[in-house]
Amino acid sequence: MNDYLRHMDITSFQRDLLHWYEENKRDLPWRKTQDPYRVWVSEVMLQQTKVDTVIPYYHRFLESFPTLKELAEAREEEVMKAWEGLGYYSRARHLHQAVKEVVENYGGEVPHEKKAFSSLKGVGPYTAGAVLSIAFEQPEPAIDGNVMRVFSRLLLITEDITKAKTRKIFEEVIPPFLEEVLPSEMNQALMELGAIVCFPTSPHCLLCPVERYCMAREEGVQEELPVKAKKRAPKVKKMAAVILKNEEGKTLFHQRPDDGLLATLWEYPNTEIKEAGQTKETLTEFLSSEYEIEAIIGEKVQEVKHVFTHLIWEIEVYEGIVKRQKTCQNERLSWLTLREATQYAFPVSHQKILKEQKRKEESADGLRTSK
């Protein structure tokens, strides 16, 4: 018997939590179905992402790709465009790859064996547990940040939850809570409690349906849990980007590498600025050596800040005119009209540049046509 559960009346806990869940659960789009494809899509979008952010993406994504087969048959470009702005873009590519595997190897039916489903791209221990329990009623724990917070308080688990090892404790402790109930309900009830009552700071213990079971509350240390190591401050990178136009009035865009940060997304040509005050020179040299394009860099027209988890870009945006371009073709470069560019997925920082360029060109158009 697990020592953490010594004083826990699991049956009563289940009754109280599930009763509360039925009365208080939010009406979320992905709770209207147990279709494994839709559950899967929602779970991938919800990784490290707030419910309010996901909802519009969830609707648009399923409008574009209503079934697993239709997603599998879609072009990756389309999938990335549907994910544009949601972040962690490898989620989209992995999901796309994974549903193709499902069509290829499982006849288009989402596999309900843990081993098979877990082997799919982008499906980790949380997503496997969530989809298998919610769509297939399998008694698998779905251990996310909410659930670790709830259980760390409930059972006074003081291990650092940012450490991979700590996860094992939760995997040991949670399965008994999934016995003799609907796993879909229990897992979602635990997450819902974390989401709308058992907040990271100032948990609403007075509204908590399972307060009487909570050991952290008993000790008055609910605010101190869970224990998490602090992460270091992100580094700042000074960047410069250029809105480079050719004689046809088209703009140069670049597709980022297939792996790494913002993989495969499109952007304005840009480079890191290592010496302050050398921005124009650095851009000119970058275009010449990297793309074999001779250009004249004009004025700075915009500043954009892009904050990542582990990195900050401070981007200075310049205008530029191309003088000469060698015939050498770079697969990842494209001269596009602004309308053409909107078919491609951009990271938020470059969406801001695109939006500003559009605004300026439209106001210039307006001036011209009104004369």
DSSP label of 232: P
The β-bridge relationship of strands 251-255 and 266-267 is antiparallel
Q: How far is the CB of 354 from DNA (least distance, A)?
A: 12
Task: Say which amino acid occupies 327.
Answer: T
Q: Alpha helices of 205-296 — where are they, by DSSP H?
A: 215-219, 279-291
| Residue 23 among the catalytic residues | no
Structure tokens at 73: 């048959």
Task: Say which amino acid occupies 57.
Answer: Y
Q: How far is the CB of 167 from DNA (least distance, A)?
A: 9
On whether the CB atoms of residues 29 and 59 are closer than 8 A, the answer is yes
Question: Which uninterrupted H or E stretch holds 352?
Answer: helix 348-370
Query: With respect to DNA, which residue has the nearer C-beta, 127 or 284?
Result: 127
Q: Which long-range contacts (CB under 8 A, 24 or more apart) does 79-85 make?
A: 80/264, 80/265, 80/344, 80/345, 81/343, 81/344, 81/345, 82/57, 83/57, 83/345, 84/265, 84/345, 84/346, 84/351, 85/57, 85/348, 85/351
Q: How far is the CB of 368 from DNA (least distance, A)?
A: 32
Query: With respect to DNA, which residue has the nearer C-beta, 260 or 277?
Result: 260
Q: How far is the CB of 241 from DNA (least distance, A)?
A: 14
Separation of alpha carbons 197 and 212, rounded Å = 14
- Residue tagged 């000074």 (tokens): 238
Query: With respect to DNA, which residue has the nearer C-beta, 21 or 213?
Result: 21
Query: With respect to DNA, which residue has the nearer C-beta, 296 or 348?
Result: 348
Query: With respect to DNA, which residue has the nearer C-beta, 57 or 65?
Result: 57
Q: How far is the CB of 19 from DNA (least distance, A)?
A: 18
Q: How far is the CB of 205 from DNA (least distance, A)?
A: 16
CA atoms within 13 A on the CB side of 72: 17
On whether the CB atoms of residues 62 and 55 are closer than 8 A, the answer is no
Query: With respect to DNA, which residue has the nearer C-beta, 292 or 356?
Result: 356
**324 bridge partner residues:** 294
Q: How far is the CB of 365 from DNA (least distance, A)?
A: 27
Q: Which long-range contacts (CB under 8 A, 24 or more apart) does 113-121 make?
A: 114/138, 114/140, 121/93, 121/94, 121/95, 121/97
Query: With respect to DNA, which residue has the nearer C-beta, 191 or 293?
Result: 191
Separation of alpha carbons 268 and 144, rounded Å = 36
Of the residues 22, 43, 70, 272, only one is catalytic, namely 43
Residues that bind DNA (CB under 7 A): 28, 30-31, 42-43, 46-53, 85-90, 94, 121-128, 130, 144-146, 149, 163-165, 188, 191-192, 194-195, 200-201, 228, 230-231, 233, 260-263, 306-311, 347-349
**Phi, psi dihedral angles at 290 (to 5 degrees):** -85, -40
Structure tokens at 145: 């940040």
Residues marked as catalytic: 43
